[in-house]
Structure 1
Amino acid sequence: MRLLFAGILLGMLMMLPELIQQRNASLRESELVGQLHFTDREGNTSEKPDNQRGTVLVTGSHSPLTEAMVQQAVGKRSDMESGYISIWNWQGLENVTASARGLDSLHHFANSYLVGFQPFETRELWIPLYTLAIRKEYQYDHLQYSGLADIWQTSRQSYYQKRGDCEDHAILLADWLINLGVDARVALGTHKGQGHAWVVAIVNNTEYLLEATSKRRQSGWQAMPLAALAESYDVEFQFNRNYFWAKTSSAPTRNYRGKHWIRKSQFIRG
């Protein structure tokens, strides 16, 4: 029993610096109650949102796809239709990128929602997933946004908004892991036949599937499940801050790299 208690105490002491940073981040947030605030990595705050503007360079095309083109096309749709994620074809090339409606009611490229945000510094890869579990409540978009099917939050907005669905969780988790030097991507597809988003993290040349919406409370947060063993996940697309990938066939796969994936486009912010 004494050894067990000592082990628990040692674990708590090892977590203490991380939890102090998390507590300080929460205190900084409490000072900004009443406005949707934006905090950069240096701790500067403002009410100005992140720049999501950008251009997509499509592999195999000499003509870029701009956000203005996307918003013009989406503008011809009804509010209900524009509330869904869009997968775009461009000059005869299929599935070159995706866009989704944000909190500003405009469609932005999927990559642009990863704005380079992390709430606080950490060296432990499991801390972002643990933070999401205790901080953010899962809620379907149509319950939060007057029946609209799919509204995305940027990684910064996702941290400060108390509720969000799968892609909001995945965007924040992937962006935070990228800041830690991990090759992390948001995966889009289905889970048990239902539309879903999750994170794949490539660490030491090994692929791990991270369920960003996990709300587990038990021990073992440091365990990262192998993507190859994750059942019922059928991925179709992946993206990070810079690139968008699509599968070459409709065959299901648990591998997130290889010849069955094509890098369709590159996102240039600005």
Structure 2
Amino acid sequence: MRHWIVPCLLGVALLLPELLRNAAEQPRESRAPTQQIEGEIHRDFGSDSTSTENYRDRQHGVVRVTGTSQPLPEETIQQIVAKRSTEQSAYVSVWNWQGIPMVTASARGLDSKHHFANSYLVGFRPFKTSQLWVPLYTLAIRKEYQYDHLQYAGLSDIWQTSRQAFYQKRGDCEDHAILLADWLIELGVDARVALGTHNGQGHAWVVAIVDNKEYLLEATSKRRQSSWQAMPLAELAEGYEAEFQFNRNFFWAKKDSGPTRKYRGSHWIKKSQFIRS
């Protein structure tokens, strides 16, 4: 049992539709213990100054939601998050949009603003390599695992971009997973960050699809494995229950609450596409 796994905090929030139309807000029920904040539901899921502070990656963009005609802009979610306290805004939020549930997620970054989850994968490759095991090995020897609340004065959840995650000495599960997934994408791998639970506790990890096989990569692992064959197939990895997954462009939500060890198929719905601007 990895005692260092931090529960990532994931909240479920409804966008205020009246920002674009005068409709009443209907909060969605959560399966997990919730905390009601200004009509929004927050659900429990499970970074010091960066040497790249003078390099700012573009995270701004909009989300085009399947089944809707109007995209969801970053400014809209930031207007809503701005109404929360500093502590409350450190929750990750999953958003509904124009009657479509769970279309995307946002999280607070090191700049204290909420950005769409996809935007944290900024297209960063620390260095070139032809070996797919190198990114995970590099994470194991370079980055320390630390709870967010210990780094950020008690704040529950702050995300690092993939570039920040490489240069920051410490980070939690999302920071490790974001860097690993983005690096693998640069190597031509279909890699995604998965959000859900591990043994009942909130967690984030990476799913990589190689040669039509799904591998589950524990980005926070400090085992220095120098072989891709040492990585476990997702169908054999016990205790992991994914609810969402995302890469640079798309956000998926699981169709129902049933357990699964497969990350492709009809039980996953591609909810939206992130368009960076």
Q: TM-score scaled to structure 2, two decimals?
A: 0.81
- Say whether the 8 Å CA contact 1:130–1:221 is kept in structure 2: no
2:233 paired residue among 222, 226, 235: 226
In structure 2, the partner of 1:58 is 65
Deviation at 1:162, TM superposition (A): 0.2
Match of 1:211 in 2: 218
Counterpart CA distance in 1 for 2:107 and 2:225 is: 34
Q: Is this contact kept in 2: 1:248–1:261, CA < 8 A? A: yes
SS in 2 for 1:82: helix
- Matches of residues 224-263 of structure 1 in structure 2 within 5 Å? 224-263=231-270
> Cα–Cα, structure 1 residues 235 and 102, in superposed 2: closer, same or farther, change >3 Å?
same
Provide the residue aligned with 1:42 in structure 2.
Answer: none
Query: What is the root-mean-square deviation of aligned Cα atoms in Å?
Result: 1.5
- Whether 1:177 aligns to 2:184 is yes
Q: Secondary structure at the match of 1:79?
A: coil
Corresponding residue for residue 36 of structure 1: 50
What's the counterpart of residue 117 of structure 2? Answer: 110
Structure-2 separation of matches of 1:105 and 1:113: 14
Question: Which residue pairs with 2:41 in the alignment?
Answer: none
| Structure 1 runs (4+) greater than 3 angstroms displaced | 35-38, 217-222
Structure 1: state its 5+ residue gaps.
1-34, 39-45
Give the superposition deviation at 1:167: 0.3
Alignment partner of 1:130 out of 134, 137, 147: 137
Counterpart position of 1:75: 82
Change (3 A) 1:212 1:218: closer
Q: Report the CA distance shift for 1:127/1:234 in structure 2 as closer, same or farther (over 3 A).
A: same
Within 2, Cα distance between the matches of 1:203 and 1:218? 17
DSSP 3-state at the match of 1:173: helix
> Matched residues in 1 for 2:257 and 2:134: separation?
34
The 8 Å contact of residues 134 and 226 in structure 2, kept in 1 or not, is answered as no
Question: What SS does the aligned partner of 2:75 have?
Answer: helix
Shift of 1:222: 4.6
Instruction: Name the structure 2 match of 1:89.
Output: 96
Q: Which has the larger radius of gyration?
A: 1
Shift of residue 224, structure 1, vs aligned partner? 1.8
* Aligned counterpart for 1:267 among listed residues 263, 274, 277: 274
Which segments of 5 or more consecutive residues in structure 2 lack a partner in the other structure?
1-48
1:230-255 alpha-carbon deviations (Å, 9 max, x no partner) = 00000000000000000110001100
What are the Cα deviations for residues 16-75 of structure 1, in whole angstroms up to 9, with x where unaligned?
Answer: xxxxxxxxxxxxxxxxxxx7344xxxxxxx813101000000000001100000000101
Letter in 1 for 2:257: S
2-structure distance, mates of 1:236, 1:224: 22
